[in-house]
Amino acid sequence: MDEIFGIPAPLLFGQLLLGLINGAFYAMLSLGLAVIFGLLNIINFTHGAQFMMGAFAAWMLLNWVGLNYWVALILVPIIIGATGVLMEWLMIRRLYKLDHLYGLLLTFGIGLIVEGLFRNEFGSSGLPYQIPPQLSGAWDLGFMFLPVYRGWVVAFALVICLATWIVIEKTRLGAYLRAATENASLVQAFGINVPRMVTLTYGAGVGLAALAGVLAAPIYSVNPQMGSNLIIVVFAVVVIGGMGSILGSVITGFGLGVVEGLTKVFWPEASATVIFVIMAIVLLARPAGLFGRA
């Protein structure tokens, strides 16, 4: 069986894998956006820059401090998450009483500033980040070669998405989050320090973006634009899935990655736009998104 629907099998599976990998990043990034939007009611336009900061932080830890990929996987979300905590505490919290638009402008502006600073410092050509030796090489699956690192990215992203879903749907902390998303002042009147929870939630969402950045560093070259290129698609994913739905972001993220990959095989010219076409159709038919509550 060398061909499926007249397409050489290795090409089909190769694009499918690429789609899954892109989907893994779409899912992780839209997950963070959904968590932040649910509780803070702001669309975090700094998300792409925070993803990029995650990749750069991993690069800096390796090249300046000598800390490897595995350490970065743990340290970077904490460090970049902490910058998120600071940003919420110093700036974003001043905007909750105002229109959504202000939060959007602030986070968009900060994203541009961060990206500009990194471009000044590192240029825009991109820095290499080696795949860690434990994850280099490829498995022969019989019908195709699977680079180990790519398999790792998909599996790791699935685990992170599942873990986030469990925390939000099955734990006490998650019950606080869900309840505060519905009625924050009542949750606070029960004795929960909601402002602190909001700050930490923003930090956690940012940490997720940074974690995705570390995962991305060995695949894409580490460069200041890497976030803004990706985030445009991620926003479309979020709109399609429905703002604020956790499971929706994960399923839509992976699903659209695969759709995009398959489009590359069957109709390459459309692959760059297929997600936006789907977005337009979904917006017309179900404005709240596939998984959103209207």
Partner 1 sequence: MADGMVRAPGADVTGELLAVRRLEAWYGESHVLHGVDLDIRPGEVVTLLGRNGAGKTTTLRAVMGLVGRRAGSIRYAGRELIGVRPDVIARAGIGYCPEERGIFASLDVTENLMLPPVVRPGGLSIAEIHDLFPNLKERAGSQGTKLSGGEQQMLAIARILRTGAKLLLLDEPSEGLAPVIVQQIGRMIREIKARGFTVLLVEQNFRFAQTVADRHYVMEHGRIVDMVANAELASSLDRLHQYLGV
For 281, the token pair is 């159709």
- Work out whether 194 is an interface residue with partner 1 (CB under 8 A): yes
The interface mask with partner 1, positions 126-165, x = CB under 8 A, is ----------------------------------------
- Mark residues 2-21: x for contact with partner 1 by CB under 8 A, - for none: --------------------
- 182 sits near partner 1 (criterion: CB under 8 A): yes
Nearer to partner 1, 11 or 192 (CB): 192
Other C-beta atoms within 10 Å of 143: how many?
12
Give the pairing of strands 145-147 and 7-8.
unpaired
Pick the closer one to partner 1 by CB: 71 or 247: 247
State which of residues 145, 176, 220, 276 lies at the interface with partner 1 (CB under 8 A).
176
Q: Residue 73 Cβ, how far from partner 1 at the closest point, in Å?
A: 31
In this structure, are residues 208 and 84 in contact, taking their beta carbons and an 8 Å threshold? no
What DSSP assignment string belongs to 74-116?
HHHHHHHHHHHHHHHHHTGGGGTTS-HHHHHHHHHHHHHHHHH
CB count in 10 Å sphere of residue 162: 11
- Residue 119's H or E segment, with its range, is helix 100-122
Q: If you ran DSSP here, which 8-state letter would residue 222 be given?
A: B
Least spacing, CB of residue 76 vs partner 1, in Å: 31
Nearer Cβ to partner 1 (2/182): 182
- Contact between 172 and partner 1 by CB under 8 A: the answer reads yes
Interacting residue ranges for partner 1, rule: CB under 8 A: 172, 175-176, 178-179, 181-183, 185-194
